[in-house]
Chain A
Amino acid sequence: MRNLTHLERLEAESIHIFREVVAEAENPVMLYSVGKDSSVMLHLARKAFYPAPPPFPMLHVASGWDFQDLLVHRDRTVREYGLKLIIAQNEDAEAQGINPFDTGSALYSQAQLTDPLKRALTAHGFDAAFGGGRRDEEKARAKERIFSFRTAAHRWDPKNQRPELWNLYNAKKAKGESIRVFPLSNWTELDIWQYIALENIDIVPLYFAKPRPTVERDGMILVVDDERFRLEAGEEPVTRSVRFRTLGCYPLTGATVSEATEMSHFIQEMLLATSSERQGRAIDKGQSASMEDKKQEGYF
């Protein structure tokens, strides 16, 4: 007799989900945001199909305001594992005058993230998309299914979800409709970090503390990642040792002051921390049901 640990059970469940989708969908894709959850998801996908490579491409929705380290990590990972990468981006952002400084967060995430994602899914005819969403992230997510059904317009209807029993997933759908699949549904943030440590998964260096040029604004510490960062009058970048707990567009993602340069140290910091993961993301602020509204519109 061998007792499986919670991480072994979570891993086996995620692998099962990956294989079900590949067996039943015609044209799956994996949403690869290059963050820690995506890194775990990619690792699990490689496990699920080993010795074959993951039989689907990666789709990265780039806002144009991504951390440089993140793009470097993305390209290296894709090269190293021989993956196919598709980049979705709103090419007209500049002409439309959309940027993270002047545009309101709702319009910004719609124009830079949600719309390019939907366009890419439609253009490539993907009928199933793996996302790294976890149920512990946010209240609205706690009720989403592992296989989340989307209309042809990519909308999510929380009142019309298919019941999910045992480990049986209904992947049937009409032409034009698609399914978002969340293999990490039952993982928590702590599980993710433990698994990264245990499996020695390569993650973006932004998660590790390092002296970086920063400014403090609205209670958030922002990293001046490139020359496009618009400094306000009197603002002067200050070098602080910071790391990130979650990664989004760099002008909208708050950093944490930290000296943790090793994985175990920032897991320690996280466990002793007193604020939840999404607090570092300006996009999620506003009324408390706002994540649900975004999901209904097609945001991941």
Chain B
Amino acid sequence: MNTPSSFQTDALIAEDIDAYLHAHQHKSLLRFITCGSVDDGKSTLIGRLLYDSKMIFEDQLAALESDSIKHGTQGEEIDFALLVDGLAAEREQGITIDVAYRFFTTEKRKFIVADTPGHEQYTRNMVTGASTADLAVILVDARKGVLQQTRRHSWLVHLIGIRHVVLAVNKMDLVGYDQATFDAIVADYRAFAEGIGITDFTAIPISGFKGDNITALSANTPWYAGPALIEHLESVDVDNAAEQAQPFRMPVQWVNRPNLDFRGFAGLIASGTVRVGDPVRIVPSGKTSTVKSITTFDGELDEAVAGQSVTISLADEVDCSRGDVIAAAGDPPQASDQFCATFVWMDEEALKPGRGYWLKLGTQTVTATIQPPKYEIDVNSREHLAARTLGLNSIGVAEFATDRPITFEPYETNRQLGGFILIDKYTNATVAAGMIAFSLRRAENVHWQPVSITREDHAGMKNQTPRVLWFTGLSGSGKSTIANEVEKQLFVMNRHTFLLDGDNVRHGLNRDLGFTEADRIENIRRVGEVAKLMADAGLIVLTAFISPFRAERQMVRDMLPEGEFVEIFVDTPLEVAEGRDVKGLYKKAREGKLKNFTGIDSPYEPPENPEIRVNTVDMTPEEAARYIIDRILPLK
């Protein structure tokens, strides 16, 4: 086997360790991913890199040899793939089921490799591995050429914004190191790559198993002029210059205030360069100041660049906290509450358009609602398909709205300020990853109209405290009856009230909505917005809606000032409500004539901590109303 030149460090280690250490302190870092079809030999290639870079020690090698005999697929030879396939379950199955990170080092660079699986259903894992990579190695089996999966992976790599692509034509030993085979695959790939926007890639003929053109050029491919894979990985430009040339942005992670004399904003610089004395702008507030100092444990700095974690103090006492972005004063990023994004769905449970999800971008966490997708993108054909939602491993484009403006940049300009995740508010699972394409102009153009008469003025005029009394419960539980009774009693007490009833609202404002999960979510969103406007006008609003999902009730709660939303759970068991069946709806639902009926074939999620719970089995509607009023007074 060829002598690996870049790994040939043993001599220096033995002779002059200090010189060796000095040299290794000045290495750079490259993160890359490997992707390819199931049997293209990814794990074998990574195992080979670890082996050749002496990252495998003898005890691991001994275990590897015994494992190779037990689980291996290479006969008597060492199966490098076993070195990198980690979890017990997947070892039994012989497949990699997740993203694994591996490390190796040469004299010039430290490498972090994301090993991502080639199976169809694992788009999620590949996107995850690619999100932090600077380069992608796309493996193709020389015997099979460019496959569907090769195309899919290449497109994902391009979508995630990886600029450096290596086409590694593997298993060259199995095609007799034939140049024509290699050239045909490269030409085939080039035609495809240019079509999706990959303008440049480096093609290398290799054998991960035999070691050809990995660490040094192989005598088996005299027709190939180079570079060898490692040589290429060592010399690729890692974009420091491009990153630092962009305007300065630092998302604030944490405000450091150890004593009255120091107030610093801690963060990781996302782009650009900052110097003491630079004018900066806090986004979204737009306040400006200048950089007073850049503090680190190792002393004050005059200048800091993208990729460094620092603490910045400003010359003025401006409002600035976690989630804000400190940016170059003359060239700040935009802030908007509506934008268009491409996103990858990563959860078993499909996207629910209209539902509120946590959106985390940089250090900002807001509530976002998503419109039904404009389209889904077929990962194989890249065709745009009509879609109402997105399921696991699908990719689509949609409009997003957030409950307050967020600061961002288009993903293609800045990964740190353009990439976001969505989190389910109830399971806390990370359900999607998104990349912002552009801000929707209407968000920039619709400004809040400042008003002279405030909501406090409105409430003061009515001599009351606004409330939204939100009645929730099954159909027939008694919501409308009790809400009506509460309003009557409040009216007698000279309170200014308004009752929004589910059935009545569906005759007008929401007559375009049906009873699917998405429509029910939109129904509640609109009612919530109307209730909020009425509360702004100083009213005590009563709403009587089944509102079956916790997420939407929480969404309305979040729209209102703290304490203004009063959740009233009309707790009537299903048997009792069904027994009453005042509108005859349960009967129809049981007969299958009514679809998506709450409690029958659509779920009801009872409140976990309602402000008030009324039991309609033991109380009359009048008693229940009295009980509620006792708990909400004085309302002044």
Cross-chain contact of B128 among A46, A52, A135, A165 (Cβ < 8 A): A165
Stretch of B275-283, B367-375, B428-436, B512-520 lying at the A interface? B428-436
- Asked whether any CB of chain A lies closer than 8 Å to the CB of B423, the reply is yes
B59, A264: Cβ atoms under 8 Å? no
How far is it, in angstroms, between the C-alpha of A174 and the C-alpha of B425 when the chains are bound? 10
A267 contacts B21, CB within 8 Å? Answer: yes
A142 touches B101 (CB 8 A): yes
Alpha-carbon gap, A52 to B261, bound state (A): 12
Main secondary structure of the interface of B (DSSP, over half): mixed
Q: How far is the CA of A5 from the CA of B128 in the complex (A)?
A: 24
Number of interface residues of B (CB under 8 A): 85
Instruction: Pick from B18, B101, B244: contact of A1, CB below 8 A.
Output: B244
Taking CB atoms, residues of chain A closer than 8 Å to B305 are 1-2, 4
Closest-by-CB residue of A relative to B306 is A4
Assess the A194–B59 pair: CB atoms within 8 A.
no
Q: Which residue of B lies closest to A198 (CB)?
A: B25
- Give chain B nearest CB distance to A37 CB in angstroms: 15
Mask for B52-63, Cβ within 8 A of A = 1, else 0?
000101111001
A to B contact number (C-beta, < 8 Å): 203
Verify B256–A49 contact, CB threshold 8 A: yes
Contact B25–A5 (Cβ < 8 Å): yes
Any chain A CB within 8 A of the CB of B44? Answer: no
Residue with the highest number of chain A CB atoms closer than 10 Å, among B241, B305, B309, B433: B309
- Distance of A198 Cα from B10 Cα, bound (Å): 21
Q: Is the CB of A164 within 8 A of B423?
A: no
Q: In B523-537, which residues have CB < 8 Å from any A CB?
A: none
Max count, chain A CB within 10 A of own CB: residue among B57, B84, B420: B57
B425's nearest neighbour on chain A, judged by CB, is A172
Q: Let me know if B430 and A163 touch, CB within 8 A.
A: yes
Given contacts A19-B266, A274-B57, contact A188 B103 (CB under 8 A): yes
A186 at the interface (CB under 8 A from B): yes
A93 contacts chain B at the CB level, 8 A cutoff: no
- 12 inter-chain pairs at a CB distance below 8 angstroms, sorted by A residue, are A1-B241, A3-B28, A4-B308, A5-B29, A9-B307, A51-B256, A168-B361, A173-B428, A185-B101, A267-B17, A279-B57, A289-B88
A288 touches B268 (CB 8 A): no
Give A74 to B132 CA distance when docked, in angstroms: 36
**Cα of A167 to Cα of B254 in the assembled complex, Å:** 15
Which A residues touch B131, using CB under 8 A? 165-166
The one of B258, B268, B420 in contact with A12, judged by C-beta atoms closer than 8 angstroms, is: B268
Q: Are A186 and B433 in contact, with the CB atoms below 8 A?
A: no
Check if B98 sits within 8 Å of A161, measured CB to CB.
Answer: yes
Other A-B pairs, 12, CB within 8 Å; known A6-B29, A161-B98:
A4-B240, A6-B110, A16-B268, A19-B266, A47-B296, A47-B297, A51-B258, A51-B264, A139-B84, A264-B21, A272-B14, A275-B58
Cβ of A276 and Cβ of B266 under 8 Å apart? no
Q: B296 contacts A50, CB within 8 Å?
A: yes
Known: A19-B266, A46-B297, A197-B21. A168 touches B57 (CB 8 A): no
Please judge, given known A-B contacts A6-B27, A161-B98, A264-B18, whether A276 and B256 are in contact too, CB under 8 Å.
no
Q: Is B101 in contact with A174, judged by CB distance below 8 angstroms?
A: no
Contact A140 B103, beta carbon cutoff 8 Å:
no
Give which listed residue, A52, A165, A167, A173, contacts B268 with CB less than 8 A: A167
Chain A residues within an 8 Å CB radius of B539 = none
Q: Does A292 lie within 8 Å of B322, measured CB to CB? A: no
Bound Cα distance A189, B448 (Å): 55
Complex Cα gap A53–B262 (Å): 13
The 6 A-B pairs with the shortest beta carbon distances in the complex, nearest first, are A52-B258, A289-B88, A15-B309, A6-B29, A276-B57, A47-B297
Asked whether A288 and B309 contact (CB < 8 A) given A5-B26, A142-B101, the answer is no
Q: Is the CB of B433 within 8 A of A165?
A: yes
With beta carbons under 8 angstroms apart, the residue of A7, A12, A52, A140 that contacts B309 is A12
A275 touches B59 (CB 8 A): yes
Chain B residues near A289 (CB-CB < 8 A): 87-88, 91
In the bound complex, do residue B103 and residue A12 qualify as a contact, i.e. CB atoms below 8 Å apart? no
How far is B197's CA from A135's CA once the two chains are assembled, in angstroms?
34
- In the bound assembly, the distance between CA atoms of A5 and B307 in angstroms comes to 10
Closest Cβ–Cβ distance, residue B304 to chain A (whole Å): 9
